[in-house]
Structure 1
Amino acid sequence: MSPTATFDFEGTVAIVTGASGALGSAAVERFREAGATVCAVDVVEPSDEDSLLEVGSGVHFYGADLTDEAAVERVIDEVADDHGRIDHLLNVAGTWRGGSHIEETDLEEVELLWKVNLQTALLVSKHALAHLQDSEGAIVSVSARSGLEGGAGDGPYRITKAGIKILTETLAEENLGVVRANCVMPSVIDTPMNREMMPDADHETWVDPTEIADVMAVLCSDATAVTSGAAVPVYGEA
């Protein structure tokens, strides 16, 4: 078993989007363990049967549809009013659709992937930036290995995840020396949904969400103070 890194985020405030999902909830717990005040944001309430989020000491839930700019602006204002600052932004909200070639893909599917995977990250970053600039904070978003190249059957998903990488590089360039922006690129994450979708796959090669959350914490820590604009592979053996 690999050793666990330790971080000290006492006195900082972290926003985690997609907080009710497997990776989002792991990120919430990682930053809470490190001492951050964690603002968990999702359209799925913690009480929902599909939610993996545990709200307890140091974790505050904010319900919002982050594809709606007015809702994003409201949540960012509430977090800033409630906690006085924003130091870390983890853009985890996302979803997957695939299985069809472009000529067979419905526009509704493309729009869903655009809104959930890319628009959420863009809008939350846009409205959190003023606070992150004040704190000289960090953004970590979730791209994907499949966003590095085209592929048959899940093109719109790949396109949105490629967009996360370009958004990250843009944020890094526009905020040089002030706010660091990086992204992680998973391959297959070991989640209940993925196990259900791929029951016969070799689950041992998949990456545990907590391991990816560790990398996200590293990218928000002083250990990577000189790193911005990076797309970090978190493939494991997948």
Structure 2
Amino acid sequence: MPSTATVDFTDTVAIVTGASGALGSAAVDRFREVGATVCALDVVAPDSEDAQLEPGEGYHFYEADLTDEDEVESVIDEIVDDHGRIDHLLNIAGTWRGGDHIEETDLEEFDLLLDINLKTAFLTSKHVLPHLQEREGSIVSVSARSGLEGGEGDGPYRITKAGIKILTETLAEENRGTVRANCVLPSVIDTPMNREMMPESDHDTWVDPREIADVMAVLCSDAASVTSGAAVPVYGEA
């Protein structure tokens, strides 16, 4: 009879990108709770006014622009030098912009979303993969429910999140039997920024970042050892 799998990341090293944001900081806390050595990556330091990652001990912070390949390569090398291994990668770095139809969308806004939402995940995955392959590790990235179809007013955001889903499926196919790759599909995440941008919305239907972090932990664990290439809904009550 199979044993019951538990979430225990003792003696493993997890990288969390976008760690200073609401979901990133929740993932840092969750993976710390289950024993991982957490390497928190962000261009925003914990002592910044905009950071939601509490300064202090319990994780290792690395400041890096993950849209710059040289910086990505350098920070991954630094993490391996410091900790000797990488077991889990959580691609959480991302942002939202919307409101305009395609013909009214500035190229700068499109480029911003492409860089932060998709390029960061591509570059970090690229440079972490050789280390994950050594450990038979896992990747969990953040796509979005809205990335499953087109919609009005936030096309570039949807395009980048659809790209995350395809990146995930590609990583899973190319690393079958060695590295598992999955993604989560949140609806609207309950963050201070989203509340500020959408003050009239029903916030009770939004999904709590801590609940998404729980799902990400399970996807990295032995409980999901046979799961790769999946896009997992995390919609809350939306």
Report the Cα distance in structure 2 between the residues aligned to 1:103 and 1:120, rounded to whole angstroms: 26
Q: Please, what TM-score do these two structures have when normalized by structure 2? A: 0.97
Of stretches 112-121 and 197-206 in structure 1, the one that deviates more from structure 2 is 197-206
1:39-58 equivalences in 2 (<5 Å): 39-58=39-58
Residue of structure 2 in register with 1:165 after alignment: 165
1:135-182: per-residue Cα shift (whole Å, max 9, x none)?
100000000000000001000000000000000000000000000000
Residue of structure 2 in register with 1:7 after alignment: 7
Residue of structure 2 in register with 1:27 after alignment: 27
Of stretches 93-102 and 54-63 in structure 1, the one that deviates more from structure 2 is 54-63
1:13-35: per-residue Cα shift (whole Å, max 9, x none)?
00000000000000000000111
State the 1:199 CA deviation: 1.4
Residue of structure 2 in register with 1:214 after alignment: 214
Residue of structure 2 in register with 1:108 after alignment: 108
Cα distance 1:6–1:191, how it changes in 2: closer, same or farther (>3 A)?
A: farther
1:74-97: per-residue Cα shift (whole Å, max 9, x none)?
110000000000000000000111
1:111-139: per-residue Cα shift (whole Å, max 9, x none)?
11000000000000000000000010000
Q: Please, what TM-score do these two structures have when normalized by structure 1? A: 0.97
Unaligned runs of 5+ in 1: none
State the 1:236 CA deviation: 1.3
The one-letter amino acid of 2:60's match is H
1:1-238 equivalences in 2 (<5 Å): 7-238=7-238
User: Alignment partner of 1:120: what SS?
Assistant: helix
Kept after mapping to 2: 8 A contact 1:140/1:181: yes
State the 1:55 CA deviation: 4.0
Unaligned runs of 5+ in 2: none
Kept after mapping to 1: 8 A contact 2:208/2:236: no
Kept after mapping to 2: 8 A contact 1:55/1:61: no
Identity %: 81
State the 1:6 CA deviation: 6.2
Kept after mapping to 2: 8 A contact 1:184/1:233: yes
Kept after mapping to 2: 8 A contact 1:143/1:186: yes
Cα distance 1:56–1:47, how it changes in 2: closer, same or farther (>3 A)?
A: closer
The one-letter amino acid of 1:33's match is E
State the 1:201 CA deviation: 1.2
- Residue correspondences, number: 234
Kept after mapping to 2: 8 A contact 1:65/1:71: yes
User: Alignment partner of 2:32: what SS?
Assistant: helix
The one-letter amino acid of 1:187's match is S
Cα distance 1:193–1:219, how it changes in 2: closer, same or farther (>3 A)?
A: same
Cα distance 1:72–1:140, how it changes in 2: closer, same or farther (>3 A)?
A: same
User: Alignment partner of 2:117: what SS?
Assistant: helix
